[in-house]
Each structure stands twice: as C-alpha cells, then as structure tokens.
A and B are shown apart, each in its own frame.
Chain A
Amino acid sequence: MTRLRRSRLTLALGLGLLAIVAAVGVSCLLGPQPISLRAALDGVEPDRAILFGLRLPRAALAAVVGFALAAAGTALQALLRNPLAEPFVLGVSGGAALGGTLVMLAAAGLSAVAGPAGALLGSAPPVAAGAVAGAVLSTFLVFGLGRIGGRLVPEAALLVGIVFNAFVAGVITLLKMLAPPDQAARLLYWLMGAIGYESPATLAAGTVLVLLSVGTLGLLSARLNLLTLGDEEAASLGVDVKRTRALVFFAASAATGAAVALAGMVGFVGLIVPHLVRRLVGPDHRLLLPASALFGAAFLVGADALARLAFLPLGTEPPVGAVTAFLGGPFFLWLLRRQAREHDEATT
C-alpha cells in the first residue's frame, strides 16, 4: 500500500465516519416528538429519554445492520465477480431468516413441553445462531449450485439465489401457518426488515459478531482483490483459493446472519452501497470494504430515518426493509441493464 493509497484510505474512512455522524444526527433530531437537543443534554425529561433511550440506540442498531450488510455485499460481489451479488438477492438473508424462524418455532414448541428450556432456546443468542447457520448453509448451497462444469458461473449463482429466495419465502409462509395468527403478523413485519428496539445486551452481542466477521473480511480484503480475477489466477498469484473462499463465505454469512437476527430481511443495502462507494474509491477491496461498511451504516441510519419521517402524517412507519427494497429494486434493474449494455459494447 503506497502513501497515496494510505491517504485515500484515510480520506474514504473519514468521509464514511462523517456520513455516519450526519445520518445519526438527522435520525436523532427528527421524529414524531419534537425535542430540544439542549434540553436533552441538560437531562430534561422526556427529551433526554427520547434522545438517549430511543433514538440513539435505534440509530446504533441501524448502523450495525447497515455496516454488516454492506460489507457482506462487497465480499460476495468479489467472490461472484459480479456487482449484482448481494446477501438478499443471493438468498443468504432468506436462509438466515429461515434458520432464525426454525429456531423460534422450535422454541415455541419446546416451551409448550418444557417452559424454561423453550424460553432459553427462544432467547436472542440461539436465534442468532440459527440465523448464522441458515446464512452459511444457503451461501454454500447457492455457490455450490451456481457451478457449471466445476466453474462458478455468476449468472447461474444469481439465478439459484433468486429461486432459493422464492423457495424460502414459501417455506416461511408454510411455517407461518403453524404459528398463531398474531405471531404470524409480527413474523411478517420482522421479515420485512424492521429496525426496532433491542435490549443493550442483544445489540452488544450483535455488534461483536458483526465486528468480528467484518474484521475478518477486512483482513482478507487484499485476497479478495485476487479472487475477483478468477480461481485459477488467484491461485497462481499465491492464494489458497479454497480456504480463502471458505473463510470469506463464512464471515460474510455470519455478518448477514447477525444483521438478519437484529433487523430481519433488509435487502439491497449490500447492492447499492458498494456500487456507489466503488465509484468513489475504486475497486481495491482494502479501501472498498471498510469504506462500504461505513457508508452502509450511514445509509441504513438514513433509510430508517426516512422510514420514520416519511409516514409521519399517517401516524405509522413502514419497516426499513420496505424503504431499501423501494430504492434497491429499481437500482438492481438499472445495474442489470447497464451490465447488459456494457456487454454488448464489449462484444461489438
């Protein structure tokens, strides 16, 4: 890494942190209840409780989820050598949701037989573990089935991911039929991707898991550069491709699983953010990955604020997953068209 690159890294990370601060600031100052920052800092209630007890923890949750999803998206794009890859599109989020749902249903079933054991199984850590396991399994499934003649074909993997998503949606619908109706409605809201109110312990545990997995991806970021060249080239440049890829799979899946356990299926963050950040800092993953993670955090904090504020007149708020899907769906199609056009230009 040259000095030039190091200063670009500093600049990108500084901008990312600045974006987070700005998004958190907006998110904390705006809401259904007008509050005064001065009053909150002076400890006047309810301003203090609203700022420090509600808005700040919620912004922190959104930041952690966005951080994880953008980093996972960046890593999956490198592995698939395709900017359309993303945890939600590839079905990794769906697998995590299915894993978490299964653990929760098992907990509900168990609590009918043995209450305390069921409650223990239904608490946050086992559900998060189920989500991570579901994410890891679906990643290996999608990338395994995306191989044709031993070679990874990005389009095939994307197609497998889309089909897997539909399959997971169906399975979750079936599982919802088994859950009582009020729980089913809440399950639906969770799966849409809702930033809610987590206990500090859950948020802390999720943050640790996210930092560990994104940290692993950061350490592998130079290897990710080589993996974008293809397996054979990466191997001839000195990368142990199988091991590195397995590590990246695992870390990206763990980050996605943690994000899904915290906030449900929030889609397209890992698609929009890395693409825009790549335009800013270039394709070098040593810059791209940390910068994407930071901008992803800022992005989701902003999207959550938008979700809360846009529907304020109606006295309700949509889950943030609906907002990211609203932005991300058209973005995905635009990227797809652009890719097709570039392909045409390259072949003529």
Chain B
Amino acid sequence: MSPHRLHGPPWPDPIVEVRAARHAYGQRVAVDGVSFTAREGEFVGLLGPNGAGKSTLIRLVAGLLSPSAGTVRLAGFDPHAAPRRLVARLCALVPQEPRLDWPFTVREVVMMGRSAHQGLLGVAGRDDLGAVEGALTACDLVHLAGRRVTALSGGERRRVFFARALAQEPRVLLLDEPTAFLDLAHQVAAMEMARLAARGGLCVVAVLHDLNLAAAACDRLVAMRAGRVVAEGPPGEVLTEERVRDVWGVPVWRGENGATGATVVLPNVGSHAR
C-alpha cells in the first residue's frame, strides 16, 4: 500500500474512541450505550444480526450522525461538529450500495476521493494524481480507468469505491458490508484489500456478516446485538458456540481451519442438534 503514509501526525491512540454513545431514529433506539475503540494498523470486524446497530455505529464514527448521549472522538475531534473537510481527510466511508446515477468514468470517481485535499474547483495537483494512480493500481483498476462506472459489474464497482476511499488518504477506513452481493473470489479479494490497508497503517473497521471471513481476516471482532456490544476480542474468543447461539439464535459447530488455524463456525442446518 505504497500511497499510504506510515508516519502521520501524532493522532491520539486509539484513533477511534466511542464512549457510552446512544443514537435513536425517532423512537427506535439503534445504538444504546456503546463503547468502542479502534487503533491505527488494526482491522476490526463489526458483527451482529440485522438491526444490531453496526451501520449506525460506523456512521457515528464518520460524523454522519451525532450521538444523543455519550461521546464520539475521531483522532481527538468530534466528527459531527468538526468541519467536513477535516473529517474527510481523517476518515473514509465505503457505503454498502454506492449510488451511481451518472456515467462518470472510474478515474473521475476515484478522483472525487481527493475533494477534501483540493480547492473549491477541484483542480488536481501532483499529489492528487499520484494518490489516484496509486489507488487504481492497488485495486487493480488501471485497465478500467477510462470506463464509465455505470457499465461495470458489481464487484468492479465495489473496487472503484474502495479505491476512492484509499485515494482519500484517510487514517480511518470504514467499510459497510464490503462483501455483500459478491461471489466468493471477490469476497476474498475485498477482505485482502482491507487487510492490506490495515497492514499499511490504517485503522480499518468493517461491518461484516460472514463470520468465517471475519474470523480469517480481522485482528479483532466486536459482536453487537440490539444496540449494545456483547463481546469483543480476538476472533477465537468472540466466536464461541454459546455466543453465536446467543447473538444470532443459531446453533453452530466451531472448529479450526486446518491450513491457517483460523476459527471456523458452521451452522448446524438440518440436524436439530442442541
């Protein structure tokens, strides 16, 4: 991950710090007293059933939502109150289903990641061109750079938006279900890219549904249910048979990948085993 500086300004450690945060959409409480931290160089997986509050949590970190109670700090700033340009230089969010209504080219979309580094009219400097080329290379998009994003497959589009987040040169990378709707090869590729970004020094936080992919790729897992954090720690500690049954309501068999030693959980479909 050459475009990413290993030595940035001395941010507070951990760079993401959420304390007793609460957020409600009208009457529905989505996040209820959550505390959560993430550090640079770390790949954190956010797990939990639908409606657990995972997406709300990363939107709080990105400053797109503000907590009604508790605090959220991103590199020491309140991300909701800080200027959007500053937050965009610190933190990039790859949405689950990015909008693509207009036929921009791949390079144009990736260049949009540089907006927070550019002037009002978005005139690209050497840094911007370098960052975009680096991101295109890292995501294997160089050969597609001139294509219209509206003409790409789902997997290619996901890579474009990942590249845009890299071009943003943030310190924190937030991924909302980066593997949704992808086939196995593309899922693995997406996780590898996220892992590489973390190895390059970024703080990567991803909302994930595939427990095995999360266990294989993430350094740390945080399990949520009904707006609260119910467990966090290394994959092997979080993904126990009891916890998976508690959180997801599904009985599983837990084992290890013989090749990598990663934790593996498999649902006991059709066995009625208790």
Contacts and interface: CB of A to CB of B under 8 A. Distances in A.
Query: Are A and B genuine complex partners?
Result: yes
Interface of A: 1-2, 81-82, 219-223, 225-226, 228-230, 232-233, 235-241, 282-284, 286
Given A222-B121, A235-B84, 18 more contacts: A1-B122, A1-B124, A2-B129, A81-B99, A82-B101, A219-B121, A225-B104, A225-B122, A229-B98, A232-B93, A233-B93, A233-B98, A238-B116, A240-B84, A283-B102, A283-B103, A283-B108, A284-B108
B112 interface: yes
Majority secondary structure of chain A interface residues (helix, strand, loop or mixed): loop
B101 A81 contact: yes
Contacts of A229: 98-99, 112
B99 A1 contact: no
Contact of B113 (A220, A237, A239): A237
B71 interface: no
B91 interface: yes
B89 interface: yes
B64 interface: yes
Contacts of A2: 124, 129
A235 B105 CA distance: 21
Contact of A225 (B92, B112, B123): B112
Contact of B104 (A1, A81, A220, A284): A284
Q: What size tier do the contact residues of chain B reach?
A: 20 to 34
Pairs A-B, 6 closest by C-beta atoms? A238-B88, A238-B116, A222-B122, A283-B102, A236-B93, A238-B85
Contacts of B121: 1, 219, 221-222, 286
Given A222-B121, A222-B122, A237-B116, A228 B62 contact: no
Contacts of B168: 237
A233 B95 contact: yes
Interface in B100-119: 101-105, 108, 112-113, 115-116, 118
B65 to A, nearest CB: 10
B92 A236 contact: yes
A232 B94 CA distance: 10
B120 A237 contact: no
B83 interface: yes
Give the residue among B83, B92, B98, B121 with the most A Cβ atoms within 10 A: B121
A239 B124 CA distance: 17
